[in-house]
Structure 1
Amino acid sequence: MKVLLDFHYSDFWTDPGKQFKPKAWASLSQNDLEKAVGTYTGDVLKAMRAQNALPNMVQVGNELNSGMLWPNGKSWGEGGGEFDRLAALLKAGTNAVRSVDSNIKIMLHLAHGGDNGASRWWFDEITKRGVSFDTIGLSYYPYWDGGFSGLTSNMNDISARYNKDVIVVETAYGFTTANGDNLDNSFNQDSVNTAGYPASPQGQASFIRDLSEKISQVNNNRGRGFFYWSRFGFQRKVLRGLVNTGWLTFKQPVLSEMRGKIKRCLISTEKHCHLLMYLNK
């Protein structure tokens, strides 16, 4: 099985609305923060290498539209030089990955996979500053990010513009709108109305099949697969409000109803779709 390791560089998961420093790094200067990113990244990978468990790909940061390690690495609104500081932090992470094993692929990941303007803005700034990476990661949720046309257009454009493969590294769809915990669902009836697939195991499987086909059609074979976040949505203490988008119902697996669709999905996806592969065995 191939592994993608995602560094969030925070005490909780990060996204465009929250990119907070871990408390242990809160008072560090820019230079010391760069050193901390490099040391931490390298130490984690060295520990994995010692266990013969190095990942095949590493994400340096998660959904980086607004930067990372705020305020130092914020991509806007910090009085100038934002991308210079962000690029320096990213280089600290990517250089650490390369120093441990140059065969590990590096991914840089943005949210809002259908927003070509945002993708161009961010990657133009990063590439002109010489940040080294191999793969573009995109999040795509059809109920938040629009229809497939925007995603398809963006994948075709940025894969050619930056000469990189593209992976949809976050996606999900609900098997129900019912509530499985005591929090409001992130996926609800409004999500169904926007995306157009029924909230059912079959609707979930149909979305996955269609997404797979769109990725497989990216020009020059640059679409390399997708990761589902998170198929273990039943882990309620971890993914509160998201339990209705996993691959298990509140009482039993959805897998038997999805198996045939997933099998067809995998025919047209690539090697980094490993989160799905066990369903086809």
Structure 2
Amino acid sequence: MFHEIKRPFLLSTPNWSNLGALLSAGIQGVNQIDPNIETVLHIENFDDPAGVEWWVDSALNAGVQFDVLGLSAYEEFQGPASAWRSTMQRLASRYPQLSFAIVEFNPRGRLLADIVREIPGGRGLGTFFWEPTESGYWGNAIFSQQGNSYYANSSDFAVYDQIVEDYGLRILQ
């Protein structure tokens, strides 16, 4: 699997001071534009809590100051989905200063929305569906193309309508 190829590189990054300096410089550039912008660091190894902790601890030890930890969630790469809730609870407990988001997923929208919503203190910021207009090994599109236009597949949006209802959210018009 693809993530197995990347993991040895990720866990053997020998020079966190350089990576930390690059990440910090990018965050500093964002803060110069607007210090209220929250910064997100996104990593993919949601299936490996110890690997996530190693990476976040390395970033923090290198002086990287960020606000949100973004994670990918695909069963093919970060599965099984049955482990995601406990992984998120573990990370939220270990890093109370961070907020969290699933910044890439397809499918499993309801499960991931519930997991993120359960993070204490409102630190779960949301989920982001990956590639809503294309189907692939990662999952199915939720929009269909006709000519130069895309149309929402209503059956695919039913889960999100249910989330709005179950969470007591309101849709802004």
Structure 1 residues 89 and 247: CA distance shift in structure 2, 3 A? same
Task: State the alpha-carbon separation in 2 of the partners of residues 145 and 92 from structure 1.
Answer: 29
1:106-121 to 2 correspondences below 5 Å: 106-121=39-54
Structure 1 position 164 matched with structure 2 position 59 = no
Judge conservation of contact 1:137–1:167 (CA < 8 Å) in 2. Answer: yes
Count of matched residue pairs: 166
1:61-72 to 2 correspondences below 5 Å: none
Match of 2:56 in 1: 123
Counterpart secondary structure, 1:227:
strand
Counterpart secondary structure, 2:65:
coil
Judge conservation of contact 1:148–1:214 (CA < 8 Å) in 2. Answer: no
Displacement of 1:124: 0.6
Judge conservation of contact 2:100–2:125 (CA < 8 Å) in 1. Answer: yes
Task: State the alpha-carbon separation in 1 of the partners of residues 89 and 121 from structure 2.
Answer: 9
Match of 1:60 in 2: none
Counterpart secondary structure, 1:86:
helix
Structure 1 position 227 matched with structure 2 position 128 = yes
Task: State the alpha-carbon separation in 1 of the partners of residues 82 and 68 from structure 2.
Answer: 21
Task: State the alpha-carbon separation in 2 of the partners of residues 147 and 219 from structure 1.
Answer: 23
Task: State the alpha-carbon separation in 2 of the partners of residues 169 and 149 from structure 1.
Answer: 19
Task: State the alpha-carbon separation in 1 of the partners of residues 100 and 4 from structure 2.
Answer: 20
Report the TM-score, using the length of structure 1 for normalisation. 0.51
Counterpart secondary structure, 1:212:
helix
Structure 1 unmatched runs, 5+ = 1-14, 19-64, 68-74, 174-206, 235-240, 272-276
Amino acid at match of 2:86: S
Structure 1 residues 223 and 17: CA distance shift in structure 2, 3 A? same
Greater fraction strand: 2
Structure 2 unmatched runs, 5+ = none
Q: Identity over the aligned pairs, expressed in percent?
A: 25
Report the TM-score, using the length of structure 2 for normalisation. 0.78
Structure showing greater radius of gyration is 1
Amino acid at match of 2:85: T
Judge conservation of contact 1:233–1:243 (CA < 8 Å) in 2. Answer: no
Structure 1 residues 132 and 107: CA distance shift in structure 2, 3 A? same
- The C-alpha deviation readout for 1:210-257, integer Å capped at 9, x for no partner, is 2212221223332221001111216xxxxxx45962113476846211
Displacement of 1:268: 6.6
1:78-97 to 2 correspondences below 5 Å: 80=14, 82-97=15-30
Match of 1:245 in 2: 140
1:6-25 to 2 correspondences below 5 Å: none
Task: State the alpha-carbon separation in 1 of the partners of residues 139 and 77 from structure 2.
Answer: 16
Greater fraction helix: 2
Displacement of 1:208: 1.6
Match of 1:262 in 2: 160
Displacement of 1:92: 1.1
Please point out which of 93, 101, 120 is paired with 2:34.
101
Structure 1 residues 261 and 112: CA distance shift in structure 2, 3 A? same
Task: State the alpha-carbon separation in 1 of the partners of residues 126 and 138 from structure 2.
Answer: 24
**What RMSD over aligned residues (CA atoms) do the two structures have, in Å?**
3.3
- The C-alpha deviation readout for 1:57-106, integer Å capped at 9, x for no partner, is xxxxxxxx956xxxxxxx636xx4x1111101101101111111101110
